[in-house]
Amino acid sequence: MLAIVAFLPILATLILMTAFNWPAKRCLLVSWLMACVLGFFLWDIELTAIAANSLYGALKSLDVLIIVFGAVLVMNTLKASGATAAINRGFMNINPDKRVQAIIIGFAFCSFIEAAAGFGTPAALAGPLMVSLGFPPMAAAIIALICDSVAVSFGAVGTPVNMAISLLGTEVCTEEFVSAFSIWTAIPHAVVGTFLPLGVLLLTTKIFGKERSFKPALEAAPFALFAGLSFSVPMLLIAMFIGYEFASLIASLISIGATVVAAKTGFLCPKKVWSFGDPSEWNPDWPAVTKVTPPKQSNMSLLKAWIPYFLIAIVLVLTRIPQLGIKDLLNGSTFTLSVNNILGYEALDYSLKWAYLPGTFFIIAALITIFLHGMKGEQIKAAWKDTFSQVSGAALAIIFGLALVQIMSYDPDGAGEKINMMTTMANALSKVGKAAFVFISPFIGVLGSFVSGSNTVSNTLFTNLQFDTAAALGIPTVFAVAMQTIGGAVGNITCINNAVAASATLGISGREGKLIKINVVPMLIYTIVVVIIFAIAVALGIQPV
């Protein structure tokens, strides 16, 4: 019963966003208030602790807001400088077909950004790029969020996997365990990832095509399957023989190269060009609700237009590879702003590692672009004005969303049946039989990232719970930790924070409920395929270690 009560704030968010189409900022405010009331009366959280955790969550929102602000600023700066128009011409020269462009940008490029940076960055960069090519903002958001899944477990140079390993400790995580964990995390992602580009096209042409049909997607099936294999096969091989840290990174680079060359030469591409049609004929829910300055037309060279993106990609990769030492430097105390013991609570220490945030690099790239592209004062003013207009609508939603997560995951005493609201739900889900646990386990991971917006945070919350439950039920613990990590990646497709951030970036704030409602179907399909794979492995008695 207590688990059902713990789920009420999340349920309220889902119902208000999807059934009543409330904007996220209102839904999350209501859910946060519910969590505060339930936490006080049923989880014995003191009022000062509620205030402290809410403040801590609000401070943590700075990390997300800086990423969103920076990504939107880059987009608007490139539009104002004329770079967007040049990039559009470049993609049209590669291949004008929107199905092909969706795969290159939404799948391959998005996977690369996830592999390098993670934490909501991919949708913030890939989404605006698709919009600049003529995609409806709602379609761009859906494509980016669905595609930002297969690379997530090994994203940010393996951060989610690293988190799980660090939580389990060196005694559990032997070399054999880590190797098996990496492989069994890669296998389901590789299976789904092969068909993910095609699945995205099927959804896109059915919802956003003039024909409202699967047929245009099936026409592009050869190219879509080729793109999926160009990522999935290298990712699996790298996870097996090289290491999980670079599985998504190297695979995405291979995929970008393969798909661009194939698109340029017409290899496996559909013969008939497909598009979304004239914007005047679009559904009213598709375009942006925030008015922004249209892209400036220019004759800028393609290389010059792409330099800001090149700079961002290079810096993200260099700062995420531990062996180079830059990562440790930027995460050090010199580049960290800290607020310790918030309202007297020792466990609540907030650190803003501003120099390591992708959003900081976005802002720097936008400032460099001003001089690189010789922008005028009016153009700069328009870019910044549009950025503040778009981001302001999402700020409250992100603040209340992270405050909600903090209240639900706060541990008042560190022990007992009522540890916190999140673990109460997960404990209830895990107290089932062996077969049922294999079905539920990935959904626990989904739950963690749905609420928190991060595969890494989901692993932080539930890795040990999954491991201990699997051990008690006699299921290989490697499978449980892998299911948790994969579920945390899949949850990104529908997670509230990513939906809010993507909507703000693309100017469709207030439509997060519709976005999540559409993305629930691919999230469920992805998770069910994962369940089937592990159910077969358990039934066959496979022992990964």
Instruction: Answer yes or no: are the C-beta atoms of 200 and 107 closer than 8 Å.
Output: yes
Confidence of residue 416 (pLDDT cuts 50, 70, 90): very low
Residue 100 lies in domain: 2-410+419-539
Range from 101-115, 149-163, 370-384, 449-463 carrying the lowest mean pLDDT: 449-463
Comparing 253 with 448, the larger pLDDT belongs to 253
> What is the per-residue pLDDT for 294?
63
> What is the per-residue pLDDT for 393?
66
Could you tell me if residue 105 is inside a domain?
Answer: yes
Into how many domains does the chain fold?
Answer: 1
Could you tell me if residue 545 is inside a domain?
Answer: no
Statement: residue 442 has pLDDT above 90: yes
- DSSP, residue by residue, 18-81: HTS---HHHHHHHHHHHHHHHHHHHS---HHHHHHHHHHHHHHHHHHHHHHHHHHHHHHHHHHH
Place of tokens 């590789």: 190
CA distance 438 to 108: 30
CA distance 190 to 492: 17
CA distance 35 to 9: 6
Mean pLDDT of 195-222: 96
Confidence of residue 295 (pLDDT cuts 50, 70, 90): low
> What is the per-residue pLDDT for 292?
56
Could you tell me if residue 126 is inside a domain?
Answer: yes
Q: Is 96 exposed, middle or buried (0-12, 13-18, 19+ CB in 10 A)?
A: middle
Could you tell me if residue 334 is inside a domain?
Answer: yes
Highest mean pLDDT among 17-26, 77-86, 391-400, 428-437: 77-86
> What is the per-residue pLDDT for 26?
86
> What is the per-residue pLDDT for 24?
75
Could you tell me if residue 544 is inside a domain?
Answer: no
Q: Torsions phi, psi of 338, nearest 5? A: -125, 145
Mean pLDDT of 94-100: 94
Mean pLDDT of 140-153: 95
Statement: residue 417 has pLDDT above 60: no
Comparing 359 with 258, the larger pLDDT belongs to 258
Residue 375 tokens read as 């922008």
Mean pLDDT of 103-123: 81
> What is the per-residue pLDDT for 413?
59
Mean pLDDT of 53-68: 85
pLDDT tens digits for 304-332?
Answer: 988 988 888 788 778 877 778 888 899 88
Instruction: Answer yes or no: are the C-beta atoms of 509 and 24 closer than 8 Å.
Output: yes
Statement: residue 474 has pLDDT above 60: yes
Could you tell me if residue 427 is inside a domain?
Answer: yes
Could you tell me if residue 47 is inside a domain?
Answer: yes
Confidence of residue 506 (pLDDT cuts 50, 70, 90): confident
Task: Provide the residue type at 48 as one letter.
Answer: T
Q: Is 167 exposed, middle or buried (0-12, 13-18, 19+ CB in 10 A)?
A: middle
Confidence of residue 35 (pLDDT cuts 50, 70, 90): very high
> What is the per-residue pLDDT for 120?
63
The stretches of 339-494 forming alpha helices (DSSP H) are 358-372, 377-409, 421-430, 434-452, 455-473, 477-490
Task: Provide the residue type at 134 as one letter.
Answer: G
Could you tell me if residue 31 is inside a domain?
Answer: yes
